[in-house]
Amino acid sequence: MSQEVGDLFSLKHDWLSVQEVVDAVTLPSCGAISVFIGTTREDEVEGRKVIGLEYEAYESMVQSEFSKLCCDIRARCPTVAKICVHHRLGSVKVAEASVVMAISSPHRKDSEQAIQLGMKLLKANIPIWKKEVYHTQEVSWKENAECEWAELSH
């Protein structure tokens, strides 16, 4: 199985439209669309208040890794119809969306399982990095806990 022609991964410097992502996976043959919206949360880390995140990507590698992600999802969830992900780059303020993923399938259970798997694979394999920005104007690169290779480095 491979990435379907209609699958889409887009990196954006502006706000993300949930409706645009949903529209990209809508099909008459599908009765389910599952959506995940990841937002920047206000948090406190070592006494410093998080006021935003900054994202960077290895853009020339993102599409090939997304193709692999789609293949992995379809191998485990074969009824998936379409996959769409929009991810922010640059600065993302608290409460703004950093990522929107939508997956369609004929039935709810399949799209729900696929969205869980898709987010896990995205965080582990797509070359996008984030750093937290604190109220003190300090920054700190953050490691994704979902990365299997991160566990090996400790």
Strands in the chain per DSSP E: 8-12, 32-39, 44-45, 48-57, 82-88, 90-93, 97-105, 128-134, 139-142
Q: pLDDT value at position 55? A: 96
User: How far is it, in rounded angstroms, from Cα 53 to Cα 140?
Assistant: 9
pLDDT digits (tens, 9 = 90+) for 73-97: 999 999 999 999 999 999 999 999 9
User: How far is it, in rounded angstroms, from Cα 40 to Cα 95?
Assistant: 5
DSSP state letter for 40:
P
Alpha helices (runs of H) in 47-107, residue ranges in sequence order? 59-76
- Residue 150 forms part of a structural domain: no
C-alpha dihedral sign at 51, 35, 119, 129:
negative
- Residue 38 forms part of a structural domain: yes
Q: pLDDT value at position 137? A: 81
Q: Label residue 20 left, alpha or beta by phi (over 0 means left) and psi (-120 to 50 means alpha).
A: alpha
pLDDT digits (tens, 9 = 90+) for 100-141: 999 999 999 999 999 999 999 999 999 999 999 999 888 888
Q: pLDDT value at position 151? A: 46
- Residue 110 forms part of a structural domain: yes
For residue 96, give every residue at least 6 positions away whose Cβ sits within 8 Å of its Cβ, in sequence order, or none. 15, 39, 40, 88
pLDDT above 90 (res 146): no
- Residue 148 forms part of a structural domain: no
Distance of CA 38 to the CA centre of its chain: 7
pLDDT above 50 (res 152): no
CB 118 within 8 A of CB 101: yes
The domain tally of the chain equals 1
Q: Which residue range forms the structural domain that includes residue 65?
A: 8-142
Q: pLDDT value at position 70? A: 96
- Residue 16 forms part of a structural domain: yes
Q: What is the CATH number of the domain that holds 83?
A: 3.90.1170.40
- Residue 28 forms part of a structural domain: yes
Q: pLDDT value at position 45? A: 81
Average pLDDT over residues 6-21: 96
pLDDT digits (tens, 9 = 90+) for 15-72: 999 999 999 999 999 999 999 999 999 988 888 999 999 999 999 999 999 999 999 9
Q: pLDDT value at position 23? A: 97
- Residue 149 forms part of a structural domain: no
- Residue 153 forms part of a structural domain: no
